[in-house]
Amino acid sequence: MSAKKHIEPIPASKAAKDRARRLFTALKTANPDAHCELTYTNPHELLFAVILSAQTTDVAVNKATPALFKAFATPADFAAAGPEGIQPYITSIGLFRNKSKSLATCAQQLVDDHGGEVPDDFGALLELRGVGRKTANCALGEIFGRTEGVVCDTHVQRLAHRFALTTETKPERIEADLMGLFPPAKWPLLAHLLIFHGRRCCPARGPHPENAVCRTFGDASCAQRMASAS
């Protein structure tokens, strides 16, 4: 399933949708302040921050971007700097060489094709260097309040399995299952809720604090790790 192809939601039963609705409510109650944790002040800063966040943490990105965004205020500035100019600001981030090339090329595309603005079209976003479905969905959701699907990062994929929302392993198929379980209006917040919960209450490793969401909706590993942490 190509990242550039439209993804159709996988139909879900009424019982599965009802369980998903209750899970969403529980996640929202447990994580009322769930939001994008990348630091940005305008659309292109968010887009570039999401590109930088691939295979690294938001914390690491947020440490690097203040100096980066101060040095290059506009997409035209990034394009003019080129990879060589951008690279020294992001050496603390994984894959910084490739990411500096992605930022420079993406910035040039914004300048050449979109008047220096982040487009509000999913297909146009996917044409940008360094932008896949996750980044495009995040940008659309944060900037324009809508998405074509669910941001499916590693936290979302992991919790989708722990909460029995999917049995799929490929991100696009996990996303399709989530799209079928939750109404489109909830897609932007759903990812934030799962990411927040994954970071704070249901980590991949380490202590698993007691919490009502994992106790009610989690799989056996959640129960075992909560018991061992108590």
The CATH number assigned to the domain holding 112 equals 1.10.340.30
48 and 26 housed in the same domain: no
Q: How far apart are CA 89 and CA 80, in angstroms?
A: 15
175 and 125 housed in the same domain: no
* Residues 26-85: tens digit of each pLDDT: 999 999 999 999 999 999 999 999 999 999 999 999 999 999 999 999 999 999 999 999
Q: Within 31-114, where are the H helices? A: 43-52, 58-71, 75-86, 96-114
* Residues 156-213: tens digit of each pLDDT: 999 999 999 999 999 999 999 999 999 999 999 999 999 999 999 999 888 889 999 9
CB within 8 Å of 184: residues ≥ 6 apart:
146, 147
Domain count across the chain: 2
Residue 9 lies in a domain: no
pLDDT at residue 93 greater than cutoff 90: yes
pLDDT at residue 1 greater than cutoff 60: no
Q: Which of 164, 188, 203 is nearest to 57 (CA)?
A: 203
Positions marked active-site: 134, 153
58 and 97 housed in the same domain: yes
Question: What is the Cα 39 distance to its own chain's centre?
Answer: 14
158 and 71 housed in the same domain: no
pLDDT at residue 3 greater than cutoff 80: no
In this predicted structure, what is the pLDDT of residue 2? 43
Residue 87 is given by DSSP the state G
| Domain-ending residue, one of 98, 129, 144 | 144
111 and 131 housed in the same domain: yes
Q: How far apart are CA 29 and CA 67, in angstroms?
A: 36
In this predicted structure, what is the pLDDT of residue 48? 98
* Residues 99-148: tens digit of each pLDDT: 999 999 999 999 999 999 999 999 999 999 999 999 999 999 999 988 89
| Domain-ending residue, one of 144, 163, 195 | 144
Residue 55 lies in a domain: yes
The pLDDT mean for the chain works out to 94
| Domain-ending residue, one of 144, 172, 204 | 144
130 and 60 housed in the same domain: yes
70 and 95 housed in the same domain: yes
Half-sphere exposure of 132 (CA within 13 A, CB side): 13
Domain around 176 = 14-32+150-229
